[in-house]
Amino acid sequence: MTDADIIVVGAGPAGSCAAIAAARSGKRVVLIERGPFPGSKNMYGGVIYPRILDELIPHWFETAPIQRWVVRRSTMVLSDTGALNIDYRSNAWGQAPYNGATAYRPDFDNWLAQQAVAAGADLICSTTVTGLLRDDQGRVCGVSTDRPDGDLTASVVIACDGVNSFLAKQAGLYPNANADNYTLGVKETLSLSKHIIDERFGVRDNQGVDIEILGGTSGVNGGGFIYTNLDTIAVGVVLKLSKLSAQKKRPEDIIAELKRHPAIAPLVEGGEVVEYSAHLIPEAGLEMMPKMVADGLLLAGDAAALCLAAGIWLEGVNFAMASGMYAGQSASAAIDASNVSAASLKSYTNRLNETFVLQDHKKLRKIPHLVLSDRVQHRYPAFV
């Protein structure tokens, strides 16, 4: 008998949603997290959309640790001294069922993992998965860890171990890495009083603002962002990794220059930096996606490169939660059918193809390269 039916590696949004779905299917689930608690190593300066949460955790907004409900979205195009702002606001977005919310990833990820525990999953933290276990026929049948006697066996492993997934590479599912396929997200969290944030961004109570920025990245292809939390704001940049390396510029210097821009400086004035973080983002969409299924193994979230990121536009958490949920459901169905071969687990990729996860990637397959092109990055902002 195996130690578990399903082992999920990584307690981010993908992993926790996989664990919730599998545990609710009556499976014995082990959720492994290398940090001291879920979310402890994550950075986030974005918006969580409720589409999957509405399905997986009805009335999630009653208990989730949300900072603000986004009621205003702006796209800002910056030249060296000017700015063009396209702004949309709806106060209805600040009421249930809500359109989107800002949140601290450490708080949100921990809350989501606890939903998996409540569903019946076992959460093991401060544990690093060091490799995949295989049976005599070469099928994945568990994981090895850095704990004494740390091998754990399972019918299916769901790898949610993030961008450049170690487990996906070990399984031979990942294509060769290409720096052109990645961006680097770098964020500062600035402390400001709630009163000042409300006044500067024209909001009140728990209303929030999401600003995406084109230009203002010191000539490095990418974009910027500002998101309001309750008493902090997140300001940062998303930079094409190959361009950043070639131009030998430092991300912290680019953020500093962005904060000095005449259109940005009044929004961040007086803010004290309380956090600085960086994270690699898989931004090439379909071009860099690995195979997502092997015998006894599924990939979800960033491990499957399920992210559409292109400077002024970024969506990953939604894809992570959806793919995790579908992975948990597909793994459970395969176990019920006593067949965890790649052919049986293919129902997972079929599900991704049937839903917004891969439909969005296919529909927008050329957008990442377009938005990061020199024409959009440099010629268009010059018109402002």
Whether residues 195 and 116 share a domain: the answer is no
User: What pLDDT is stored for residue 2 in this prediction?
Assistant: 87
3-state secondary structure of 82: coil
pTM here is: 0.94
| Same domain? 189 vs 170 | no
If residue 96 lies in a helix (H) or strand (E), which one and from where to where? none
160, 276 Cβ separation under 8 angstroms: no
CA distance 227 to 45: 6
Closest by CA position to 306, among listed 277, 283, 328: 283
Higher pLDDT, residue 96 or 177: 96
CATH number at residue 159: 3.50.50.60
In this structure, the answer to whether residues 203 and 351 fall within a common structural domain is no
Whether 108 and 158 share a structural domain: yes
**43-99 pLDDT, tens per residue?**
666 789 888 999 999 999 999 999 999 999 999 999 989 999 999 999 999 998 899
Cβ atoms within 10 Å of 136's Cβ, excluding its own: 6
Q: Are strands 68-78 and 140-145 parallel, antiparallel or unpaired?
A: unpaired
Looking at the DSSP bridge assignments, the partners of residue 213 are: 76, 224
Q: Do 292 and 166 fall within a single domain?
A: yes
Note whether 354 and 208 are same-domain residues: no
Task: Report the SS3 class of residue 122.
Answer: strand
In the beta sheet, which residues pair with residue 185? 238, 279
Q: Are residues 290 and 142 in the same domain?
A: yes
pLDDT confidence bin for 313, thresholds 50/70/90: low
Count of alpha carbons within 13 Å of 31, Cβ hemisphere only? 34
What integer pLDDT is reported at residue 312 of this predicted model?
Answer: 54
pLDDT of 309: 65
**One domain for residues 82 and 121:** no
pLDDT in tens, 119-151: 999 999 999 999 999 999 999 999 999 998 889
Same domain, 56 and 82: no
The reply to whether 171 and 309 lie within a common domain is yes
Residue type, 379: R
Q: Does 275 lie in the same domain as 219?
A: yes
Residue 310 has pLDDT above 60, yes or no: no
pLDDT of 294: 98
Domain tally for the chain? 2
Residue 303 has what DSSP assignment? Answer: G
Q: Say if strands 182-191 and 272-282 run parallel, antiparallel, or are unpaired.
A: antiparallel
Strands 222-228 and 207-214: antiparallel
**What DSSP state is assigned to residue 353?**
H
User: Which domain covers residue 138, as residue numbers?
Assistant: 4-63+104-176+285-365
Do residue 27 and residue 132 come from a single domain?
Answer: yes
Q: Domain holding 235: CATH number?
A: 3.30.9.90
